[in-house]
Structure formats: structure tokens, C-alpha cells
Amino acid sequence: MTGATASRGRIDKRQAILAAAFTVFARRGYAQACVQEIAEVAGVAKPTVYNHLNDKENLFRHAVTAAADAVAAENLAVVERVRNPGDDLRAALEDVARGLLQVCSGQRCRSLRQLTYAQLTVFPDLADAVHERTSVRLTEALADRLARLALAGRLRAGDPTEAAEQFLALLTGPLEHRSGLGAREVSAAETHAVATAAVDTFLRAYRPEPVQH
């Protein structure tokens, strides 16, 4: 029991450090963030941070990767909701669209984008990892759903990955535009409008071809 408790305490401490690190990195950027502040936010002493994660770079990698995992999970859960679309295809797609926009306009997701972008040239492999988790997987999961819909004749046939890319682009592009690169919060009304417009355009472009006879 003691052992379990101790391990748990240790794990908790590690989690606290990673969470604090993400917060501070998001607040200051990689280089401007200092380990001191992270330790303070985590409520531990500086060397404890070094005991758990070897150096600043490692700390950054783990904090960012953890955030990317969380965002990935959220995104995939949203896409999963369209597995059984029901009769109203538009409604189902709008549900996904709103869900994704909610995730993308959240604090964590914006910070993640920012940090990853910022360190693109410094830690290119990390950028790859994040991109894989948040963008590639999401696109593929969505492509899977769209492929099913095409097969069922509810969408025009075509490259489902390309369709998924475009569906996501119609969401994130206007969102980014309206949030000023993610600096400003975007009102619920506005994300709603973006979602509606995206689905509308998508459905117009991907409605099944009229049957020839």
C-alpha cells in the first residue's frame, strides 16, 4: 500500500510538473520560459524537475507530446460521433464541425499550435510528432467516415483523404482568420456560423452526382 501510494505520489508529481511546464511554456514560449517558474507553478523545487525530466528540452518534448495526445483524443472522439450519421447528413456533419471547432478554439489546442509552430526549426521531429497526432490521424479518421458515406451513396465518390483535408480546412481556415491567428477568443456564435458555412459548402461540393438514366 505504501509502495502504491508512493508510486502514485510520484506519478502525480510528474503529472504536476508536465502540466505546469505546458502552462508556462504556453505563457512565455520555449526559450523565455524558465525552469524556475515551472517548478514554482508545479509546487516543487527546481532539482526535482531535473530528477523527473532530464533537461529543459526533454521537459518541453514531454509536455508538448502529452498535450498533443490529449487533443488527439478529443478530436478523435468528436469524429467518432459521426459513425452512425442517421438520416440527416447535414446535421451529423454540423455536429462534427462544431465539435472540432470547439476543440480547436480551446486554450490548450491554441497553445499547442503556437508552441509547435514556434519550435518548428529547432525541434522538427517534435513538430512531426504533433502533426501526426493532431492533424494526420484526424484527417484519416475523418476520411474513413467520409469513405463510408461515399460508399453508401450519400456523398460523391472521390479521394476521401482529400475530402477530409478540405472539410477540415473549411473549418480551421476561417477560424484562424477570425481569431487573428488564434490570439483572440472566438464567440460561440461565430464558430457556429463558421461550422454552418463549412458544412454548407462541403455538401454543395460533395453532393452525389445526379444519376444518369
- The residues of the shown chain that bind its own copies, judged by CB under 8 A, are 26-32, 113-114, 116-122, 124, 127-128, 130-131, 135-136, 139, 162, 165-166, 168-170, 172-174, 177, 180-183, 197-198, 200-202, 204-206
Measured from the CB atom, the residue of 122 and 151 that comes closer to DNA is 122
Dihedral of CA 37/69/130/61: which sign?
positive
Residue type, 107: Q
Dihedral of CA 120/124/129/133: which sign?
positive
Binding DNA by CB under 7 A: which of 8, 15, 29, 55? 55
Q: In the numeric block, which cell numbers belong to residue 77?
A: 472522439
| 3 to 42: interface string for DNA, x by CB under 7 A | ---xx-xx--x------------------xxxxx------
For the beta carbon of residue 74, count every other beta carbon within 10 angstroms.
19
Residue 133 contact partner, candidates its own copies, DNA, none, CB within 5 to 8 A by sort of partner: none
* φ/ψ of residue 131, rounded to 5: -60, -45
CA dist 137 and 131 (Å) reads: 9
- Which residues of the shown chain bind DNA in the complex (CB under 7 A)? 2, 6-7, 9-10, 13, 32-36, 44-48, 50-52, 54-57
